[in-house]
Structure 1
Amino acid sequence: MRIAIIGTGVAGSLVAEMLAGQPGFSVRAFDRLAAGEESEAGTGLNVGPNAMKALRLYLPERHDAVRAASLPWTRWFIDTAAGERLADIDLLGVAEEPGIRLRWSELYRVLRAPVAHLTRHSARFEALEEAAGGKLRPIFRGPDGELFDDGDFDLLIGCDGRYSRLREITDGTVTPRFFGVALTRLLVPDARDCPFDEYGQWFNGHARLLAFPLPGGAAYIAGSVPLPSPDAEVPAAYRAPGYQPALYEPADAAPCPAVAWMCAKLRAMPEQIHWARLQESPLLRHTMQGRVILLGDAAQGMVPTLGQGATQAVEDAVLTGAVLRAGGGAARIAALRDPRVEWVRRLSVAASDTMLRADPVAGSRAKGKEPFLSMLKQLYTYIPDSI
């Protein structure tokens, strides 16, 4: 079977590694970025214990390499902006191993290295042609602007992100669902004076900060603030220096040291803040009668509340690789992955309650108790050990 993988992010790199060198498979991967361009990619992220378990079961060498490039994620605490502790979750009480914290660029570096020899870079996917015998021929545009192809393929695996061109061509434009929350992310390169050492969240009303240190002395800060309506764009006023950090500072008390530190960084680095909106997109696992399989954000863009975007991409990739190696196809992958992904998506939206309409204090306290802890355990441990 000749397989083309479109996009070598998290899912694309891992599924390529799962299939490379396996009897009966010939794999080619294509990425729109130039080789090495991932060195500037993104900011920071946390990857859940469930992704690490999936790697440990199916790609143990990659598990060890990712673990070595990251810091462990062992705690999740939630405070008010004034410093009152609302919840403190020991991840090892609900998972079999820690999650991880690292920069996107480091994750890409570790995942892409084993499949570099299979990958053609600077190849932007443009179009799709149906060839003889039910095969598909993807058309790419190279760095010189010229169109090219690499022949016919039996299967295309789309791993080209939330705005997947492959999904758009084969199933139409995706209409996302918005929740009325503006999101920000900021990488602080020098965070040696950071007053916290684990994954934390801080609430001032429905405005929330989320932050954690990263390897090499950096830190990641993510913010979320309500928008006027669910479909509202981010107003220009929100982007003005000083506007956003002021939303996280309590009016009737001094901010705790962590919030004061983060707000100072937000005020000092307004041009480095990246903006987005809280959203999810409909789940779609395959198109073209199963000749196109979608993984990661291309299949299931989800809210980032529980850090399951990249995490579910890892699950997608290793389990899809295992199914294909066992002789299964798109229907088996959908049956294995879609119920799990839908459950994770519902849980992630439910866990966003404190950024939406629920009381942030009561909602945060509930996350440190049952039944939420049992749901976290199911999230972090339910990975099949065989296909």
Structure 2
Amino acid sequence: MAKSQHVGGAGERSALVVGGGIGGLAAGLALARSGWRVKVLERAAAFGEVGAGLSLWPNGVRALDALGVGDQVREQALVETRAGIRNRSGRWLSRTDTQELADRFGPVVMIHRARLFDILRTALPAGVLCGDSAVTRADLRGGRVEVEHGRGVSRADLLVAADGIGSTVRHSLWPQAPAPRYAGYTTWRVVVDTGERLSAGGESWGRGERVGIAPLADGRTYLFCVANAPEGQRSPGGELAELRRRFGRWHDPIPRLLAAADEEAVMRHDIHALPPLASFVNGRAALLGDAAHAMTPNLGQGANQALEDAVTLAVLLEAHPDVESALSAYDRLRRPRTRLIARRSHRIGVVAQWHWAPATALRDLTLRMMPGPAVLDALTAILGWRPPDREDLIAHTG
């Protein structure tokens, strides 16, 4: 018989966070800092992250500041790195003034996902993380939430579903929600150690194919490659051989990076996105991160939006007199913003993955003619985000 567990004692606000990824850890940390008794339930027996790079944009770094770990993350920032978009031969189509971007919005941090994961995990209070706790069912009962998982049944005042694009909680409590949809392209990711520190990053666009390069602070390089492909396809000769076949004649340093890569380090995933939901909230349950708004990675905002979600949710729970009104405000704030960003990311992916030669020629010409400041202006609505002001919200709701 499953063991029943209660999170929190009499008069103490309690929360269950489902999912031990970056969004789940951020939510757990944000709630714990606000005085909640929190348990983070993760299906895996051990907590960890895959070996890939992650872009933290200024909005995400501000969220991490609100969580008290911004300085640790900011140490990973890269300065004076050239970035932008090139074609497959290496010609710059669009350059990003990284110094102006930093002056206007703050630094962009390129960090290994495992490093960010460790920073968040270390900041959590002892006893918050519960591994080997795969969630099989979630219910709303008598003004509380109930979750059945690998270790038994837990109940709490609040449920935060941060369990990814295939969220079990979303399936349980949002049964009418649309299923994720394939974006039409697949991606390979790998971290490479060539023994040299690259001075330029950014993306290179071809016809139905792309390559992204991001130097990491530890001297390694994060490489991702994208190609139009049928869903579920895999390479019979190995994924690294496929990368070398597709991209081995692109501009330097792409061939050198692929030559230095290890087959075991290459990860391949088809790209899916979640269609817009009617609500991120159901009673005392809230969706967060990819469980709420999984988007294509073309703006590099997936993790950043999860961090924004976590900080916003905790602030609203402090500012509002009850959980339901706080979650209603969370839905009003987060759903329009993430929908806007998801739409932009989708459009960029469509254009970047064009294959027809006349269309790609027009695209490349348009990029060359676009003034640099216009690119930064277009990012203002995304990168200019700041955490909600708790005192203002309390005054407004009071």
Give TM-score, length-normalised by structure 2: 0.83
Q: Tell me, yes or no, if structure 1 residue 334 matches structure 2 residue 331.
A: yes
SS at 1:137 equivalent: strand
Aligned to 1:247: 246
Tell me the equivalent position of 1:280.
273
User: 2:132 and 2:370 mapped to 1: Cα distance?
Assistant: 44
Distance, in Å, in 2 between the alignment partners of 1:336 and 1:311 is 15
1:247, CA displacement in angstroms?
A: 2.2
1:17 equivalent to 2:26? Answer no
1:69 shift after superposition: 4.6
Distance of aligned partners of 1:240 and 1:54 in 2 relative to their CA distance in 1, 3 Å threshold: closer
The answer as to whether partners of 1:54 and 1:383 remain within 8 angstroms in 2 is yes
Provide the C-alpha distance between the structure 2 equivalents of 1:177 and 1:282, rounded to a whole number of angstroms: 7
Deviations 1:96-134 (A, max 9, x none): 211111111111000111224222222111222444x22
Counterpart of 1:31 (choices 26, 42, 53) is 42
| Residues in 1 aligned to 2:82 and 2:55: alpha-carbon distance in whole angstroms | 12
Matching of residue 138 in structure 1 with residue 136 in structure 2: no
Q: Distance in 1 between matches of 2:20 and 2:232?
A: 30
Instruction: Pick one of 152, 156, 165 that aligns with 1:153.
Output: 156
Q: Name the residue aligned to 2:260.
A: 265
Label 1:261 to 1:126 Cα distance change in 2 as closer, same or farther (>3 A): same
Which sections of structure 1, spanning at least 5 residues, go unmatched? 143-147
RMSD: 2.5
Shift in CA distance, 162/116, structure 1 to aligned 2, threshold 3 Å: farther
Indicate the residue corresponding to 1:145 in structure 2: none
| Deviation (angstroms), 1:235 | 4.7
Shift of 1:348: 1.0
More displaced 10-residue stretch of structure 1: 69-78 or 45-54: 69-78
Relative to 1, partners in 2 of residues 1:259 and 1:236: Cα closer, same or farther, differing over 3 Å?
Answer: closer
Read off the aligned partner of 1:280 and give its amino acid letter. A
- 1:179 corresponds to: 183
Distance 1:350-1:363 versus aligned 2 partners, 3 A rule: farther
Whole-Å separation in 2 of the counterparts to 1:291 and 1:33 = 25
Deviation at 1:80, TM superposition (A): 1.9
In 2 relative to 1, CA 241–19 (structure 1 residues): closer, same or farther, beyond 3 Å? closer
- Cα distance change of structure 1 residues 316 and 292 upon mapping to structure 2, 3 Å threshold: same
Alpha-carbon distance, 1:176 to partner: 1.7
* 1:379 matched residue in structure 2: 382
**Alpha carbons of 1:209 and 1:104: their partners in 2 closer, same or farther (altered >3 Å)?**
same
Partner AA of 1:262 in structure 2: L
Aligned to 2:341: 344
TM-score (norm. length: structure 1): 0.85
* Residues 108 and 240 (structure 1), Cα distance of their counterparts in 2 relative to 1, 3 Å cut: closer
1:112 to 121, 129, 138: 121
1:237–1:73 distance in 2 versus 1, CA, 3 Å: farther
Instruction: Give the distance between the partners of 2:50 and 2:161, measured in 1 at CA.
Output: 20
What per-residue deviation string (whole Å, max 9, x for no partner) do you get for residues 35-71 of structure 1? Answer: 4x41x52321111111112333x33x31112223554
Once the two structures are superposed, residues 168-218 of structure 1 have per-residue CA deviations (whole angstroms, 9 ceiling, x without a partner) of 121237522222212111121x23235x33432123333111011223222
User: Contact 1:203/1:248 (CA < 8 Å) preserved in 2?
Assistant: no
Q: Distance in 1 between matches of 2:116 and 2:304?
A: 12
Q: Which amino acid aligns with 2:43?
A: R
User: 1:321 aligned to 2:324?
Assistant: no
Percent identity reads 25
Counterpart amino acid of residue 203 in structure 2: Q
Structure 2 contact 187–226 (Cα < 8 Å) conserved: yes
- Structure 2: distance between partners of 1:318 and 1:377: 20
Offset at 1:139? 1.2
SS for the counterpart of 2:105 is: coil
